[in-house]
Structure 1
Amino acid sequence: MKRNRIYCAVVAALASVSAHAQTSEALAPNTQTNRAQIETIQVTATKRTESIQDIPVSVTALNGQALENLGVDNFQDYVEFLPNVVFQGTGPGQNEIYIRGAATTQTSIAVSTVQALQPSVAFYLDEQPVSMQGRNLDIYATDMERVEVLPGPQGTLFGASSQSGTVRMITKKPDHTGFSAGADVDLSTTKDGEMSNAVEAYFNFTPTEDMAVRVAAYSDKQGGWIDNILNQPGEGGYIGSAVVIDRISGGVLADPANTPVVPPKNDGLTEDDFNDATYAGARLGLSYRADDWDLLVQHTQQTLETEGVFAYDPNLDGDTSTNRFVPEENDDEFGLTTWTLNSRLAQLELVYTGGYLNREIDSTIDYTGYTNGGLFAAYYVCNHYETETPADERCLDPTKFYKEQTDTTRLTHELRINTSDEERWRLTAGVFYDAQDLETVGKFQLGNTDLSFFADQGRTTVGTDGINSNGGPFESDVSFVNDVTHTIDQIAVFGQLEFDLTDTLTASVGARWYEIEDTYKGSTTTVDVSRRVKAFGSLDPDELAAVGEDPDLINQAIANGQLEVDLLDENGTLTVDDVIWKASFDWKVTKDILLFATYSEGFRPPVTNRVGGGLATNQSGAFEGFRIPVYSLTDTLDNYELGLKGDFLDGILRVNATAYYSEITDLQTSRFDPTNISFLVFTDNVGDAEIVGLDSDITWLATDNLVINASFSLLDTELTRINPELQGIAPPVGSELPYSATFSGNLRARYFFELENGYSGYVNGSIAYTGDRLAGMKMDAYVLEDTTQLVYGTGSGLEIQQEADVYQGVTYTDSQGGQFAGGRYVQKAYTIANVAVGIQKESWKAELYIDNLTDKRAILNIDNQQFTPKVVSNRPRTLGVRLSYDFY
């Protein structure tokens, strides 16, 4: 069995390797052997500055020089070199991070700001958490000191959303040693795509002895490679199908097989290479030092503008073509101000840090595919309710769009103390406060305006509480509105104590108490969300009746355990509090070898559902008697790991690994069942899961001129329990978690050589492999494939792994008259190779590089938000040149 093979690999690896800690290729001299050594990075993973090789924590870190060597500009580039990290999403600014296989299905980007899971991986810029559900902040990696990735639960020190790991981007701070400046220019061309160009610069100066200022600025225009081609029905283009519309609408058309369908047109929108992305921004930092304290204030301002989409239609020829029917764009701007004050009080270090984030998102998304999945599809595009003659039935242009305006603010404060590193016992303790506020207005065009009902309507929302748009009216072609305010307030007290039992043996224990208040307010076109949530919090019979629920049936559902409402108060605020723990032992076998064992806990807070408590529209099959949860439950992760960290052969070989076993209880997932519960999306708990894995990294200084690094991840994920209401919808017990490859790994090498007249050169090469992964947490691939065949006249050609004989969540049969099986799409394995050659002298460097040398079109994600699969792929082969110059 695969599980047995994993266990054997774990045991074998622990016999000879050490805890996962990827280092830079920077070298340090060994005075005893006159050979270079691998440099050890200083990290702040424990909220103290310590050597990465001396802390009993699994950490991956690349310093700024290594990031530059690898050509890393954003976190997606960095993930190529992290086998245990997965980056899933639909393009820049629209991604989610998963670590060590603890992955699930997140809400589609179209409604992620309204109804999405909290992240399972916390994302930080320096000391400030900047995570956001479904749309992690996409920070351009310019002027970075290092990037740290902490796999496994980090909740005791880093709080909520550190369930399976934490990612920290650490910026370069103002330098008090004096003046410096530098600039980098990058120009590249992509096969079958546009040119790209980037400029980065920094400037550091010291106005006084006590003050230093650093400014970094950047502009990066990334040319597209996806073509929006002319829609040609019958040649893989969008035909449309009354059979699909009738099936998902419950059989409303008299003769769906012969009902005419008008396919959408995109004549005015065809464009080659239309998926452009532009990053532009600046960061200003000021550092002031006095006798016993120092202050750092930084402000980062960035805009990210994208056009088009970053996925192709597999039903079309080639792997760079799509059919889109609405001009799509995503404007994402944020301003982040952070501050850190350090002081000393006798032997105590006092640290006060905080930050204020303001993010604005303005998006337009093609929503035409909703016709292929929405319960009321026939109502939106067909005239069956306007004609009494079946022969006159027809379905009109299905073109639809979704527009979103979202404003997010986040204010954090943390005050902590650190005792002296020289003592036998060391304490880090603090208090943390976090206030998040998300205000969003999402406007949908769902109905064809040639139909009488949609001819002239400016929809308003039904409620008045927490409305960001003042309730409308909206544009005449807007037929549905989400208007929601989501507020999350958190307070926590944390601490971690280390005690040296002997000179070589240390024990540590950490804990965090937290309380989170989640308030969900607002309205949709059809639902007063505020009143509904309050009704389930108070269980007032009149209020339940006012939101369309039978009080007796609701109380009965609560009594039999079908619904839980204990976490809601009468005002509709969801409150959760708990204590999580971490404990470890580490043994310094020699000055170069560290062994450790760790137990840690992580969690992800519950999410209130905007239509919680409602009955499924379709009451047959798996949905008989089903009610949408009022909120998802907290999901928790208990983690056990063993690791070693070691340098061998006089510091020229570093072999690191961590073996771990994780148990997830009440794993959260996003559900979108349009054929059964109208268009509505909600969060739920799929069940329990187990993960067994091994992360390993080897760095070898083969010669003073050649550095080789290899890293890999082995994973065995398994669902161990499925909630009854998800039987036949989610994969069965024993199935793999999504997006989790059994094996992933990479190999990197950097060779230096000397030239005449003070010049030197280098060659970089890397190759990264990612194994097969399954897409999503719902076995609907055969349903989607059948829809693709009917709507486009051809299938997607994507591989499906069958996991059940019958897909019970959908009660209709396929187009051939058979019952749908259950299965998920397979995101096939891929290998990416990069190469670069450069020359440098003193302060300048020039480099020629080729990314994606073999022009591999990898399947990074299969996006189903259009109800037919779209493939998010990597950038094709790219040839470029980088130039840099530093002034000192």
Structure 2
Amino acid sequence: MFQHTKLSSAIVLAMSSHIAMAADTPSPDGSKKSIETIQVTATKRTQSIQEVPVSVTALNGQQLENLGIDDFQDYVEFLPNVVFQGTGPGQNEIYIRGAATTQTSIAVSTVQALQPSVAFYLDEQPVSMQGRNLDIYATDMERVEVLPGPQGTLFGASSQSGTVRLITKKPSHSGFAAGFDTGMSWTKGGDMSNSVEAYINLTPTDDTAIRIAAYNDRQGGWIDNILNQPGKGGYIGSAVVIDRISGGLLADPENTPVEAPKNDGLVEDNANDATYSGARFGLHHNFDNDWSLLVQHTEQTLKTEGVFAYDPNLEGESSTNRFVPEENQDDFGLTTWTLEGRLAKLDIVYTGGYLNRDIQSTIDYTGYTNGGLYSAYYACNYASPDPAEQYCADPTKWYKEDTDTTRLTHELRFNTDVDNPWRVTAGIFYDEQELSTVGKFNLGNTDLPYFQNLGVTTVGQEGINSDGGPFESEVSFVNDITHEIDQLAVFGQFEYDLTDTITASLGARWYQIDDIFKGSTTTVDVSRRVKAFATQNPDELIAVGEDPALIADAIQSGQLEVGLLDDDGTLTVDDVIYKATLNWKAADDLMFFTTYSEGFRPPVTNRVGGGLAKNQQGAFEGFRIPVYSTTDTLKNYEVGMKGDFFDSVLRVNATAYYSEIKDLQTSRFDPTNISFLVFTDNVGDAEIRGLDADITWLATDNLVVNGAMSWIDSELTRLNDELKGIAPPVGSSLPYSADFSANIRARYYFELDNGWEAYINGAVSYTGDRYTGMTMNAFVVEDATRLVYGTGSGLSIEKEADLYSGVNYTDTNGNSYAGGRYVQDSYVLANASVGITANEWKVELYVDNITDEHAILHIDDQQFTPKVVTNRPRTVGLRFSYDMY
């Protein structure tokens, strides 16, 4: 995410619709040019983007090339209504129009994460995944389409707040074509980066075309893993913080010896490298004038080393202390097919795809010692009552993950003739997903007597995706989980021209989703536990460690909901969602529209559902983890306009919207309850009001000026009782999205004496303050940071409550913990570039982040001390490309 990722850059710029419509070159005859209009398939029909009565933005392939899209953070400022939040390439999530909640730690996202609220497509294939959206390198693209607002009627689950579509360039029957792009760049204080992309288009017969694209992009790092120096801002570790959270297990925590972790062998400058490499193969065959078949296969490897965040308590804004060599390898293969034809006046499309993705990761988990009810158990010898015999060992820990994901989809749809006064799009959709993961946690130091020769096995002994136990002796805990999601849906959209200028449309989608969660952890037989709650069989409840009478009372009182579970433990949900639009063509180049739409995210089964909180104080008294989170729904009302003025030299598009979210899902973890681990819950209800606007102005034949802004006002309107004192109070803003963001960009073209063309680009953007997450734990985390590092983070905190969690914890000064969230402070970024084009050749020199601003893009506090994900420092680069047609 935070490297030279063409996918992320393309999405960012597509959301910045102010650039998407601008013409790219002056008219060859010298006449005054007009704004280019892109054809899109946002409604599963091909239409002009200015004719589609919904908010949609797009960039075509030529614009992607001319804008030199390479890097996400270089263009993050052009996100008026969308944000990416995550910890590195292949480890991020997308949020649109402020509909966001706390995301799950990447270490357990494959086991216990929310489904995405934004659907992500490659061509016709949905590739959205929980916790780790597929990070596709966007080479050889036809266009990028982004649809803000619910798109569930046509695009299904996870299109709750929007849909992003990457449309690849297909094999062309027009003949031979080939080209390549290459570039290199230098980052201040970092390593050099370089990339190469190439494509070739062949037509072996009149009816058959083949297209191949390949790429390799190595992105140099700039984050330094520096030597840990306790007492000089480095990781000290503290028996005090362990003792406080663990319940007073140490006799004299103030004087208990603590061994600080060591990273002598891992010290390295510019440690966060990333490399994307892959290829796409496509074949298109025309059977006759009416029927054709397209088959494509994409293969990609993404490999990263190090981390993409710095420790704010250390000196500078590019330093971190990590104690385990971290790496992530993310491989996927995606095969898609589309059969198109026509019967009489009916267009028929059958499309499908098969995705296989494998992730292997090693993550530094040392920060786990900084929180959790049993922290002292993993790091300290506290068995002896004599303080002189108590000590805390090296807390270094790690997490290793091996995850395999498959997804198979089929869709059959029908379109009536577009020339009719009435038009119908209808279809049936089937989706089968399976995620199998084995996660191994090293938590306990084997120098401690009770962790020597441990050998952990899973509850079921034989395991689900692994070969059972014993695992290697240093493994303390294991997740061995398979998550299956099967979906069947029927959808349709009917449009009718009420008059020559007014059109009404109505869409609906019926869906049924089966969620199957099975497997085991070191301590819990998840499969048996879910079935026990489904059947409420007393013998099964006792077998999984629950009191049947207490569970019956919790279900009867409504504290626990189990009605969506079948007897075999399958969670099943079905419903119908709707969309209605009315648009008025006031003039040839002016349209007004109003839309009502619905979106949803399916429920998520919890691996430790029904469990009682270990800590029974305050807000946690009597609390039980939900067996599953329920569906959260978003209802959206919007009005908008799209207009071209003054002979298409000025374009103004604007949309105002109001959204209601019911039972907003969130990811939860509380360090005082080790039994919580991570689980999903429904925080309450929320409302979002917003305005998106963009302007494209062709000031002269040679000057294009673009501007965009987004205003978002979000608030929680209802909060579940058990989350009071944990989540922000009613009236608080949702996380991650700024109240106001704006930007301006200009591109100037001019002719050189030798007939070549040149251009100059400039851009400035502003992003406002943003909150992090849906948990008011910033003061708790800040206190742990001071104890662990001997200094605070220096990050901004907004106090939102007098007491956190309803539990009377005290900080190092004896004060009760207040409730508050970290604030990602506002920032301004600027970029510039100059380029020359000559026939098929193009060369460009660019400077990104001219002022070397270190923006706070994301604050990660999953390990109880904050880490800051930032943009790449000032980068100077050179691009060179050649296209032969």
Q: TM-score range by the shorter chain?
A: over 0.9
After TM superposition, the structure 1 = structure 2 runs for residues 690-705 of structure 1, keeping only pairs within 5 Å, are 690-705=687-702
1:430 match: 427
Residue of structure 1 aligned with 2:215, choices 214, 218, 242: 218
268-277 vs 472-481, which moves further: 472-481
Amino acid at match of 1:107: T
After TM superposition, the structure 1 = structure 2 runs for residues 70-81 of structure 1, keeping only pairs within 5 Å, are 70-73=67-70, 79-81=76-78
Amino acid at match of 1:381: A
Is the CA contact 2:560–2:626 (under 8 Å) kept in the aligned structure 1?
A: yes
Residue of structure 1 aligned with 2:709, choices 707, 712, 737: 712
In 2, distance between residues paired with 1:192 and 1:93? 24
Structure 1 position 79, deviation (Å):
4.7
Alignment partner of 2:730: what SS?
Answer: coil
1:142 match: 139
TM-score (norm: length of structure 2)? 0.97
Structure 1 position 812, deviation (Å):
1.9
Alpha-carbon distance change, 81 to 65 in structure 1, aligned in 2, over 3 angstroms? farther
Amino acid at match of 1:780: N
In 2, distance between residues paired with 1:44 and 1:464? 50
Alpha-carbon distance change, 313 to 32 in structure 1, aligned in 2, over 3 angstroms? closer
Alignment partner of 2:20: what SS?
Answer: coil
Is the CA contact 1:29–1:37 (under 8 Å) kept in the aligned structure 2?
A: no
Q: C-alpha deviations, 1:184-242, integer Å up to 9, x for none?
A: 11100000000000000010010000011110000000000000000001111000011
1:125 aligns with 2:122: yes
Alpha-carbon distance change, 204 to 170 in structure 1, aligned in 2, over 3 angstroms? same
Residue of structure 1 aligned with 2:86, choices 78, 82, 89: 89
1:9 match: none
In 2, distance between residues paired with 1:555 and 1:32? 80
1:546 aligns with 2:526: no
609-618 vs 806-815, which moves further: 806-815
Is the CA contact 1:60–1:150 (under 8 Å) kept in the aligned structure 2?
A: yes
In 2, distance between residues paired with 1:400 and 1:30? 62
2:585 match: 588
Structure 1 position 678, deviation (Å):
3.7
2:390 match: 393
In 2, distance between residues paired with 1:874 and 1:748? 19
1:857 aligns with 2:854: yes
1:347 aligns with 2:340: no
Matched residues, percent identical?
75
1:735 aligns with 2:732: yes
1:44 match: 41
After TM superposition, the structure 1 = structure 2 runs for residues 719-868 of structure 1, keeping only pairs within 5 Å, are 719-868=716-865
Alpha-carbon distance change, 827 to 703 in structure 1, aligned in 2, over 3 angstroms? same
1:382 aligns with 2:380: yes
1:298 match: 296
Amino acid at match of 1:299: H
Structure 1 position 21, deviation (Å):
7.0
Is the CA contact 1:73–1:140 (under 8 Å) kept in the aligned structure 2?
A: no
1:157 aligns with 2:138: no
1:361 match: 359
2:552 match: 555
1:531 match: 528
In 1, distance between residues paired with 2:420 and 2:334? 37
TM-score (norm: length of structure 1)? 0.96
Q: C-alpha deviations, 1:545-566, integer Å up to 9, x for none?
A: 1000011110100111100000
Amino acid at match of 2:731: G
Is the CA contact 1:301–1:335 (under 8 Å) kept in the aligned structure 2?
A: yes
Structure 1 position 27, deviation (Å):
5.2
1:459 aligns with 2:456: yes
Is the CA contact 2:371–2:671 (under 8 Å) kept in the aligned structure 1?
A: yes
Alpha-carbon distance change, 464 to 511 in structure 1, aligned in 2, over 3 angstroms? farther
2:408 match: 411
1:875 match: 872
Structure 1 position 117, deviation (Å):
0.3
Is the CA contact 1:74–1:139 (under 8 Å) kept in the aligned structure 2?
A: no
In 1, distance between residues paired with 2:576 and 2:38? 32
1:189 aligns with 2:159: no
Is the CA contact 1:150–1:167 (under 8 Å) kept in the aligned structure 2?
A: yes
Amino acid at match of 1:213: I
Structure 1 position 422, deviation (Å):
0.2
In 1, distance between residues paired with 2:759 and 2:827? 27
Structure 1 position 131, deviation (Å):
0.6
Is the CA contact 2:462–2:469 (under 8 Å) kept in the aligned structure 1?
A: no
Is the CA contact 1:636–1:666 (under 8 Å) kept in the aligned structure 2?
A: yes
In 2, distance between residues paired with 1:384 and 1:116? 35
Structure 1 position 473, deviation (Å):
1.8
Is the CA contact 1:240–1:262 (under 8 Å) kept in the aligned structure 2?
A: yes
Alpha-carbon distance change, 713 to 222 in structure 1, aligned in 2, over 3 angstroms? same
Is the CA contact 1:73–1:141 (under 8 Å) kept in the aligned structure 2?
A: no
2:565 match: 568
Residue of structure 2 aligned with 1:443, choices 440, 445, 461: 440
2:8 match: none
Structure 1 position 809, deviation (Å):
4.8
Residue of structure 1 aligned with 2:59, choices 55, 59, 62: 62
Is the CA contact 2:501–2:584 (under 8 Å) kept in the aligned structure 1?
A: yes
Structure 1 position 674, deviation (Å):
2.3
Amino acid at match of 2:331: E
Alignment partner of 2:391: what SS?
Answer: coil
Alignment partner of 1:836: what SS?
Answer: strand
In 1, distance between residues paired with 2:837 and 2:807? 62
74-83 vs 742-751, which moves further: 74-83
Is the CA contact 1:53–1:645 (under 8 Å) kept in the aligned structure 2?
A: yes
2:6 match: none
In 2, distance between residues paired with 1:287 and 1:60? 27
Structure 1 position 757, deviation (Å):
2.0
Amino acid at match of 2:648: G
Is the CA contact 1:613–1:630 (under 8 Å) kept in the aligned structure 2?
A: yes
Structure 1 position 28, deviation (Å):
8.5
- Paired residue total: 869
Gaps in structure 1 of 5+ consecutive residues: 1-18
Residue of structure 2 aligned with 1:616, choices 607, 613, 624: 613
1:663 match: 660
1:328 aligns with 2:316: no
Alignment partner of 1:757: what SS?
Answer: coil
Amino acid at match of 1:503: D
In 2, distance between residues paired with 1:582 and 1:658? 17
In 2, distance between residues paired with 1:500 and 1:79? 40
Is the CA contact 1:74–1:138 (under 8 Å) kept in the aligned structure 2?
A: no
Alpha-carbon distance change, 677 to 449 in structure 1, aligned in 2, over 3 angstroms? closer
Alignment partner of 1:67: what SS?
Answer: helix
Q: C-alpha deviations, 1:773-828, integer Å up to 9, x for none?
A: 00010000000001101110000000100000111254421111111000000000
Structure 1 position 70, deviation (Å):
2.6
In 1, distance between residues paired with 2:73 and 2:432? 28
Structure 1 position 75, deviation (Å):
6.2
When the two chains are superposed, the root-mean-square deviation of aligned CA atoms in Å is 1.5
In 1, distance between residues paired with 2:669 and 2:63? 41
Alignment partner of 2:241: what SS?
Answer: helix
In 2, distance between residues paired with 1:187 and 1:404? 33
Alignment partner of 1:555: what SS?
Answer: helix
Gaps in structure 2 of 5+ consecutive residues: 1-15
Is the CA contact 1:20–1:645 (under 8 Å) kept in the aligned structure 2?
A: no
Residue of structure 2 aligned with 1:673, choices 641, 647, 670: 670
Structure 1 position 81, deviation (Å):
2.3
Is the CA contact 1:277–1:304 (under 8 Å) kept in the aligned structure 2?
A: yes
In 1, distance between residues paired with 2:258 and 2:807? 24
Alignment partner of 1:782: what SS?
Answer: helix
Amino acid at match of 1:321: S
1:474 aligns with 2:471: yes
Is the CA contact 1:668–1:683 (under 8 Å) kept in the aligned structure 2?
A: yes
In 2, distance between residues paired with 1:135 and 1:74? 19
Structure 1 position 24, deviation (Å):
3.6
After TM superposition, the structure 1 = structure 2 runs for residues 188-207 of structure 1, keeping only pairs within 5 Å, are 188-207=185-204
Amino acid at match of 2:773: G
Structure 1 position 464, deviation (Å):
5.5
Is the CA contact 2:24–2:63 (under 8 Å) kept in the aligned structure 1?
A: no
Q: C-alpha deviations, 1:581-608, integer Å up to 9, x for none?
A: 0001000000100000000000000000
Alignment partner of 2:242: what SS?
Answer: helix
